[in-house]
Each structure stands twice: as C-alpha cells, then as structure tokens.
Amino acid sequence: MAGSDSIRVFAPATVANVTCGFDVLGFAVNNPGDEIVLRKTNTDKIVIKAIHGDGGRLTLDPNFNTVSIPVIKYLEKYGIKQGLEIELFKHMPLGSGLGSSAASSVAGVFAVDKLLGLNKTVEEMLPFAMEGELIACGAAHADNVAPCLYGGFVLVRSYNPLEIVRINTPQGMYCSLVHPHVEVQTKDARNALPKEISLGTAVTQWGNVAGLVVGLMKSDFGLIGRSMQDVVAEPARAGLIPGFYSVKESALNAGAIGAGISGSGPSIFALSDSLDKANKIAEAMAAAFSKIGIGSETYVSEVNHQGPVVMG
C-alpha cells in the first residue's frame, strides 16, 4: 500500500475479561467494528476531518482522540514527517463494553503502518495502540487492543515486561452480543470490585482461567462452558446491569456454551458453536431485556481470527 495516497481499514470490536479472565483475557469479533479512512496530505499536520456515528460526542482534536494519538506516536517514533487526514466511522455504541476506543486505536496504527508501507509486526504496533487506550481511560490496558490487533483469543500474561500470548481458538465458535440501552460508567464498574478476595475464591478463579485456556486450545466446548464461571468481578458488577442474571439465563437456555459481562458492561456476550444457535441466543437475550422495559442492539458473528484488515 506504500504507493497509495489513501487507505481504508476495519478493526473489530472485542470482548475483554471473558468471565473468569478479568483484565487478562480477551477476544475479537467480526461484528461490530470501526472503519477508518486515512489520506496523505501535502502538510505535516494530523487532522481528523470527520467522525461519523458518534452523535458528536468524540473530539476532533487529534491530540485527544484515540484514533489519532497512535498515528501521531507512530510517526514520531519512526521520524516520519507526513501530513494525514483521518475520517472515522464508528459502527458500535460508545461506552458499550465492546472495546470501542480500542478499535479506533488499532485502526489508526494499522492504517498508518500499511499506508506508509513499514509493515511492522503486531508486537511492534501494540504499544502505539495502547497509547490510545491511555487517552481513553487513563490506563494503557491491553485486554481490548491486543485481541483487536492480533485477532482471536489472547492472554495478557504481563505488562512489565509486556507479553501477549495468542491462544489457539476453535474454528466455528460464534459470539452473540447484546448492548442494552443502559449506561455503566467504567469508574463505577471498577469501584464495585472487591479490594480483597479469599484464598478459596482465588483458587476457584485460577482453576476456571486455566480450564478456559485449555478448553480453547483443545477445542473442548464442554470444558470451555464449565470454566466460564466468574466468582470475582461478575458478582460485584451484576447489579449495575438491570436484569443481568435473567439475560444470562436466557442465553444459556437458548444453547449458549457460556455467557457473561463484556468488559465492564453493560453489554453481555454469549459463546456458541453454530450460527443458528448464536442468532437464537441473541434474540433470547434481547427479549429478556425487553421484558423489563429495556431496549437493546444485538450483534452476531463468528469469533474474529485475523484482527484488522485493509478494505478494498
């Protein structure tokens, strides 16, 4: 793409935590996601031309937007003087627990890398994407940006030093997402978490995390489902999402392997082994919210295995 003057990139939404994997596990989905168009200009400035689909909520100041900060940092790191114009298309709700800011960050760094033809590895691009998360939420978390950039399921093993581990992911695994029309502040979700947990609770959680990882690597859907039990964050955060347990139960009754809160909420995700089941599960979760007077959007797709892509 180095000879082109513009590029269009899609970056996927993500589910972080994945029940028992609080702050260390995440995976990408094919739908929804963000799109970015990046164009070379004859100046040395980075400009956000337009943002579509955000209802005017996001800043056009390139120094404070998650889509542009990774681009700026990338150019600075490699000593490149190139003006760029950014157009961002938001195809997912903000503050949904679906990694909206992460998708923008990854789209930005992936687009500038491909447009300029440097073709860095995902490991080399990741720190730039994390700079976007730093702007978005005050901390350079990787549990959304890493799966968005790498695709599939990933484990954030360590931040110091940064180590991201790809987890072999079963083919034919589908995700149903429901985003209810309620708001959960990330700050409130963080404050709801217990400051300490008992050793017994910790052992249960460790066993589930290990079981989930092994289940994914062995394509053992039964083990995956049995391991998707969160005894730390979910009990503390469930009260922030009206009807959470009834929505989760509706997903399991409709054939889900497992279900839980996506990120810090309010979206709820469910995994399944067929598209037909995934559609029925999404309908069941939306109906459970509707029953208590809450509207929602649903998204159904296979787990994304490739991360961001250049669009034709």
- C-alpha distances in angstroms, 307 versus 45, 144, 228? 28, 11, 23
> Which residue out of 41, 186, 201, 204 is catalytically annotated?
186
Partner residues linked to 48 by β-bridges: 86
At a CB cut-off of 8 Å and minimum separation 6, what does 296 contact?
178, 179, 180, 181, 285, 286, 289, 290
> Is 150:307 a contact under the CB 8 Å cutoff?
yes
Q: Count CB-CB contacts under 10 A for residue 311.
A: 11
What does the chain come to in residues? 312
Residue 152 — φ and ψ, nearest 5°?
65, -155
235-240 contacts at long range (C-beta below 8 A, 24 or more positions apart): 236/192, 236/193, 236/194, 237/184, 237/189, 237/192, 237/193, 237/261, 237/264, 237/265, 239/192, 240/184, 240/188, 240/189, 240/192, 240/265, 240/266
> Which residue out of 133, 169, 234, 298 is catalytically annotated?
133
In whole angstroms, give the CA distance from residue 114 to residue 309. 10
Residue with tokens 């295995």: 305
In whole angstroms, give the CA distance from residue 92 to residue 164. 25
Amino acid at 161: P
Is-catalytic flag, 186? yes
**DSSP-assigned letter for residue 296:** E
Catalytic residues: 133, 186
